[in-house]
Amino acid sequence: MQLVLEKRAERSSAIALISPLIAIGLTLATMSILFAMLGKNPISALGVYFIAPFVDSYSLQEIAVKATPLVMIAIGLSLCYLANAWNIGAEGQFLIGAVAGSWLAVKTQGTDAGPWVFPAMLLLGAVGGALYGLIPAICKVRFGASEILTSLMLVYVADLLLDYLVRGPWRDPKGFNFPTTAEFDPVATVPVLIEGGRLHLGGVIALVVVAAGAVLLARTIKGFEIRVVGAAPRAARFGGFNSNQLILLAFAISGALAGMAGIIEVAGPVGHLQPGISPGYGFTAIIVAFLGRLNPIGILFAGLFLALTFIGGEQAQITMKIPLDVTKVFQGILLFFVLACDSLILYRFKLVFASPKVSRGAH
């Protein structure tokens, strides 16, 4: 008797719906075992991770703050991935957006520039990110260069450019040579929504982006074209869709959203430009995009869920002295199960009773 994976005749939409839930269930079960092995009570440990962050407005705000850049970037990435364009460089577009927007903040510092500064920074961030995202797209369309490599390598270029700016021309003259710009003026920062809290306008912008993404994909011709180009390139050609143009569009939107997320992060939670403004948001967002099955609403929940594991992980460190590494294991196991369960959409388990060997000798 053997357990084999057999390809399904068609993809199972029921499994597609519940597979993330199965994955989360399996993750929780595995984590419970791990907690028990660490000598912690699994119920209270899971409580700290998943319930405690929901009990007060403070942690809810923090989850939203953490999820904001992830969701914004992931929405853009999902457009690229749906169009079969593999933008791996959102991290770089995020950084360039931050740099482009910060330029205005640095230039207007100490002047009596009005409240137009922040909206203008947002626009600059989006334009900067879009232009940077277009570089790998143009290289792909024009020269056939692999966008996976070019977009990824441009991350390091962006990183070094930011590094150069905050160490050289934009360095805070009163900052004792520390690589950072001066703190941005109030007109150059993201408005906070709740007095004394950290929830900022970026959260609202992220929600608008989710809604716009959902409408674009479900209700517009461009959205339809993007999906067809990715899912059935031949059909798209017969349909007369210009796939090159769509790749450029997807990269531009993706870059703009990442760039906007970058400037929001810098003008919001960080408050100045410095190296290390992104703890890998551009890469984590790839996970968020797939966890959310490249669907805007799914991405919103995936972003919030991943943010929850960060916040919960921190509280677990504080209240239960559970090491940070366990949180990382947690996220790793989750991804592992999500990918594993996804294979059930196209495959199913089957018990095979007879010997799979076919006898050859008998005529």
Partner 1 sequence: MKKILIAATAAVLATGAGLLGASAADKLKIGFIYLGPVGDLGWTYQHDLGRLEMVKEFGDKVETTFLENVSEGPDSERSIEQLARAGNKLIFTTSFGYMEPTLKVAKKYPNVHFEHATGYKRDKNMSTYSGRFYEGRYIQGIIAAKMSKSGVLGYIASFPIPEVISGINATMLGAQTINPNIKVKIIWANTWFDPGKEADAAKALIDQGADIIMQHTDSPAAMQVAAERGKLAFGQDSEMIKFGPKAQLTSTMNNWGPYYIQRVKAELDGTWKSEDFWGGLKSKLVVMAPYTNMPDDVKKLAMDTEAAIIEGRLQPFKCPIVGQDGKEVECKGGTHLDDGQVLGMNFYVKGIDEKIPGK
| Closest of 259, 311, 291, 11 to residue 135, by C-alpha | 259
Residue 356 is a binding residue for partner 1 (CB under 8 A) = no
Residue 196 is a binding residue for partner 1 (CB under 8 A) = yes
Residues in 270-299 that interact with partner 1 by CB under 8 A: 270-272, 274-279
Q: Is 44 left (phi over 0), alpha (psi -120 to 50) or beta?
A: alpha
Residue 178 is a binding residue for partner 1 (CB under 8 A) = yes
> At its nearest, how many Å lie between partner 1 and the CB of residue 317?
5
* SS3 (DSSP) at 3: strand
Nearer CB in complex with partner 1: 31/85: 31
| Closest of 313, 315, 311 to residue 330, by C-alpha | 313
The CA distance from 101 to 122, in Å, is: 6
User: For partner 1, which residue of 16, 24, 32, 58 counts as binding (CB under 8 A)?
Assistant: 58
The whole-angstrom distance between residue 146's C-alpha and the CA centroid of its chain comes to: 21
> At its nearest, how many Å lie between partner 1 and the CB of residue 55?
3
Q: Where are the alpha helices (DSSP H) in the chain?
A: 13-37, 42-50, 57-82, 90-107, 117-143, 147-167, 201-219, 221-231, 233-238, 243-265, 281-291, 296-320, 324-346
The CA distance from 347 to 12, in Å, is: 9
Q: In this structure, what are the phi and psi dihedrals at residue 51, rounded to the nearest 5 degrees? A: -110, -45
Stretch that binds partner 1, among 30-38, 131-139, 161-169, 282-290 (CB under 8 A): 161-169
Residue 348 is a binding residue for partner 1 (CB under 8 A) = no
Residue 55 is a binding residue for partner 1 (CB under 8 A) = yes
* Cβ neighbour number for residue 184 with a 10 Å cutoff: 26
> At its nearest, how many Å lie between partner 1 and the CB of residue 52?
5
The CA distance from 70 to 276, in Å, is: 16
Nearer CB in complex with partner 1: 235/318: 318
Residues in 236-275 that interact with partner 1 by CB under 8 A: 265, 269-272, 274-275
Residue 98 is a binding residue for partner 1 (CB under 8 A) = no
> At its nearest, how many Å lie between partner 1 and the CB of residue 324?
5
Site map 10..49 versus partner 1, x via CB under 8 A? ----------------------------------x--xx-
Nearer CB in complex with partner 1: 199/253: 199
Residues of the shown chain interacting with partner 1 in the complex, contacts defined by CB under 8 A = 44, 47-48, 51-52, 54-56, 58, 62, 65-66, 163, 167-168, 171, 176-179, 183, 196, 198, 265, 269-272, 274-279, 310-311, 314-315, 317-319, 321, 323-324
